[in-house]
Structure 1
Amino acid sequence: MSITQQYLLDSYRARLHGEPEPPAPGRRDLGLAREIRDHWRFRAVVAGRPAHGRLRRTLGRRLRTLARRGRPRAL
């Protein structure tokens, strides 16, 4: 059963019982992603690490390492 089918079934059952409908799938995804980001930033600050820019710095370091090795680019 897909997520959409489960949502429709839950909505139907909620209407039969006079209960509020459940939230639509994916409706709270953005808020959840923000909460996760804030949580990881908080943990970084508590641990004494920089709270932002870590991913960009890590990717830049990896790219520079690959460039120094002279690894050929994929076509």
Structure 2
Amino acid sequence: MNAMHQYMLDNYRASQHGDQAPPQPGLHDWQVVREIRDYRRFRAVVPGCGPHGRVRETLTRWLHRRPRRRAACR
């Protein structure tokens, strides 16, 4: 049984009992993705939690740059 079959079954049961219909599958997927992104951004600025992943790598690269050596002129 896939998600659509389960949704149709739940919808039928809700109509038989006079309850509110459940939300369609996939309806709130983007909202969940945004909330996860916001939560990760929040955790990055909470004291004691440093940046992770790409942010940490970029900051490390920027803060620990080695001076470039210039080519010797001949």
TM-score higher than 0.5 here?
yes
- Deviation track 1:12-70 (CA, whole Å, cap 9, x = no partner) reads 000000000000000010110010000000000112438xx729x4xxx8xxxxxxxxx
Larger Rg: 2
Contiguous gaps of at least 5 residues in structure 1: 62-75
Which residue matches 1:30? 30
* Whole-angstrom CA distance in 2 between matches of 1:5 and 1:49: 42
Which amino acid in 2 is paired with 1:49?
P
Please, what TM-score do these two structures have when normalized by structure 2?
Answer: 0.65
Query: Identity, % of aligned pairs?
Result: 51
Which residue matches 2:6? 6
The structure with the largest helix share of the pair is: 1
Which amino acid in 2 is paired with 1:54?
V
Which residue matches 2:17? 17
Please, what TM-score do these two structures have when normalized by structure 1?
Answer: 0.65
Question: RMSD of the TM alignment (CA)?
Answer: 2.7
- State the secondary structure of the residue aligned to 2:4: helix
Contiguous gaps of at least 5 residues in structure 2: 62-74
